[in-house]
Structure 1
Amino acid sequence: MGLSVAMIVKNEEKYLERCLKSLPAIVNEVVVVDTGSSDRTADIAVSNGAKLLAYEWDDDFSAARNFAINQTSGDWILVMDADEYFAEDCSSVLESFMNAGKQIGRFEIVSKYMDNGETAFARDYVSRLFPRGAAYAGRIHEQLIGNFPRRRIGGAVIHHDGYYQTDKHERNLSLLLLELQEKPGGSYLLFQLGRQYNSVRDYAKVEMYLTESYRLLNRTEGYAKTAVVELLEVYRINKKFREAFSLIDAESEYMNGVSDFHFGRAQLYLDYAIESADYSFIPEIEKAYKEALGAADEIVVGTASYRSYHNLGVFYELTGQPELAKRYYRQAAECNFGLSAERLEKMGI
């Protein structure tokens, strides 16, 4: 039972060697498909033992990925991007997963990005390990299609930092809009368009696309909870309070275990109290942050810990409760959250 890695690359000399050297020890074969690099990418692939092939780029990530998959020989395929890597070997975890029968493995992917000048991390679960017989569809943000059950792979995390301090908006948006012309009306495509416009802060279009994506959700999608969180956030930004409160009412049960949902509620209640001078929501801010701390699922890393600790510290400081503020700042600072450490220093701690 061989495991092959399939990759598509272009001008990835900055990341590729790190990725290849991090691959699990049980990988038998690495196929790297180059879509037109002009740097040292090809040399790095070959020098690290990969099978290198050329592919003429045709604005279709799925076509390129499927070409790469078809060049592999293993019974199982692991798909990686050059700007991703494993921090530790997970061979035993993957071996156990593959021995359990034909199924699609969903990895936890932790992505590094900038958020209002601060480094942040987001957590997604993406299908990347699968037996031969599955294939990709979609020009960009492609999805794996296969008639196998999907399971999360615990104990194997992929780290991703290719979008950190980079701008791929123009390329991504053009492919998404082309896909929309060809296949209008899909919830996932609309969701990705909303996210793309969010990266350039065009919040009118973010709201338009995310609202339509949400309307089409059936709650079985892997991105469904993220879609609700991001729609709530854009309603807050655009001061669409009525729509935001309706969304909270509709999704409170479904989203109860998601820390980001409660974190977003708290921020919404604060904005609403300021905008409307309706201070009856003040206690709800405290309650929502505490519910975020107790939630099991976390999309943006820190909403279930240091981000909520810090914001509770701010809440208590602003409401004249300095001892409670210090307590929560300390908890956030213990998680190495710099903003809380700064607040403690200013408070003389």
Structure 2
Amino acid sequence: MGEINLGVSAAIIVKDSERCMARCLDSILEAVDEIIVVDTGSSDGTVAILESYRNKHDHVKLYHFKWIDDFSAARNFSLSKVSNEWVFVVDSDDVLPEADCNKIREYTNEMDDMKEKAVFDIIYDNTVEGVITESIPSGYVRLFPSQLRYEDKIHEQISYGALQRIQSDIHLLHDGYDTNVIDLKEKKKRNLSMLIESLKEDNENARLWLHLGREMSVVDKDKARRYLEIAESKAQSVELMKWIQESKKEL
């Protein structure tokens, strides 16, 4: 990483995202000072779209990273290319509402003025055919100091230590679970496979057991319950325990 500037960058990892790539970029072009996009091996028109944006906009930068079945590795590579103090992490199937475009800099500028650091949750709105079907107010840390890094191969989370965690009023619209545009069965199959492989390396990770239970809930509720009970037996944080118990109630 080179010299770090005051400001905020967006960081996105993508693969075969031609369906939604332009829509995502258009929504954040004015909201941040730099956009780092890392392609992990697209075989559709994603790279051509990204190159066209890079050619039109100096602050859009494109990199390539060989996919190694590890979301944290890809995300951390994208973070290593960021040149600003703050980073806003977005997925290609996310859209930042126009009404929220100025909020990212408002939060980071306020922190800079106080010479403080924190991590910010955003409000995650799942959509189907453009209609919000579920709004998740916390659990998605997407705005944070750019020197932080992710952990876990799948359902990766930022490791932020003792930094204050603040709930923002920034929304992201997400259609990655809309069965009209996504093969949900294939997505679940991929996630289950990656979680099982991750648990072979880190069997005591309660959060991975939780996510395995949540993913399994659409396939086999008995197995899902068992995995959530394992997660419960290994959980050490109040926040994680609460999430596990809420997940058990949903079965």
Give TM-score scaled by structure 2 length: 0.84
Match runs of 1:88-127 below 5 Å: 88-98=98-108, 99-100=110-111, 101-112=116-127, 120-125=133-138, 126-127=140-141
User: Does structure 1 retain, via aligned residues, the 8 Å contact 2:7–2:86?
Assistant: yes
1:212 corresponding residue in structure 2 = 230
In the aligned structure 2, how far is the partner of 1:55 from the partner of 1:24? 23
Normalized per residue, the structure richer in strand is 2
In the aligned structure 2, how far is the partner of 1:227 from the partner of 1:112? 24
1:209-232, Cα deviation, whole Å (9 max, x unpaired): 1122223334533x5434222202
Opposite residue 15 of structure 1, the aligned amino acid is: C
Normalized per residue, the structure richer in helix is 1
Considering only aligned residues, what root-mean-square deviation do their CA atoms show, in Å?
2.0
1:190 corresponding residue in structure 2 = 209
User: Does structure 2 retain, via aligned residues, the 8 Å contact 1:25–1:89?
Assistant: no
In the aligned structure 2, how far is the partner of 1:92 from the partner of 1:52? 24
Quick check: 1:180 aligned with 2:199? yes
User: Does structure 2 retain, via aligned residues, the 8 Å contact 1:24–1:89?
Assistant: no
Greater CA radius of gyration, 1 or 2? 1
In the aligned structure 2, how far is the partner of 1:51 from the partner of 1:85? 19
Structure 1 runs of 4+ with >6 Å offset: none
Opposite residue 136 of structure 2, the aligned amino acid is: R
2:189 corresponding residue in structure 1 = 170
Identity fraction in percent: 34
What stretches of structure 2 of length at least 5 have no aligned partner? Answer: 1-5, 55-59
Q: In the comparison of the two structures, how many residue pairs are matched? A: 227
Give TM-score scaled by structure 1 length: 0.61
Per the TM alignment, residue 124 of structure 1 is displaced from its structure 2 partner at its CA by 4.8
- Secondary structure of the residue that 1:81 maps to in structure 2? coil
Tell me which of the two structures has the higher relative contact order, counting C-alpha pairs closer than 8 angstroms and 6 or more residues apart.
2
In the aligned structure 2, how far is the partner of 1:124 from the partner of 1:45? 30
- Secondary structure of the residue that 2:207 maps to in structure 1? helix
Opposite residue 121 of structure 1, the aligned amino acid is: E
Quick check: 1:69 aligned with 2:82? no
User: Does structure 1 retain, via aligned residues, the 8 Å contact 2:82–2:146?
Assistant: no
Opposite residue 246 of structure 2, the aligned amino acid is: V
Opposite residue 134 of structure 1, the aligned amino acid is: L
Task: Say if 1:152 and 1:24 are closer, same or farther in 2 by CA, change over 3 A.
Answer: farther
Per the TM alignment, residue 34 of structure 1 is displaced from its structure 2 partner at its CA by 0.6
What stretches of structure 1 of length at least 5 have no aligned partner? Answer: 235-349
User: Does structure 2 retain, via aligned residues, the 8 Å contact 1:23–1:89?
Assistant: no
Match runs of 1:238-317 below 5 Å: none
2:3 corresponding residue in structure 1 = none
- Secondary structure of the residue that 2:208 maps to in structure 1? helix
Per the TM alignment, residue 90 of structure 1 is displaced from its structure 2 partner at its CA by 2.2
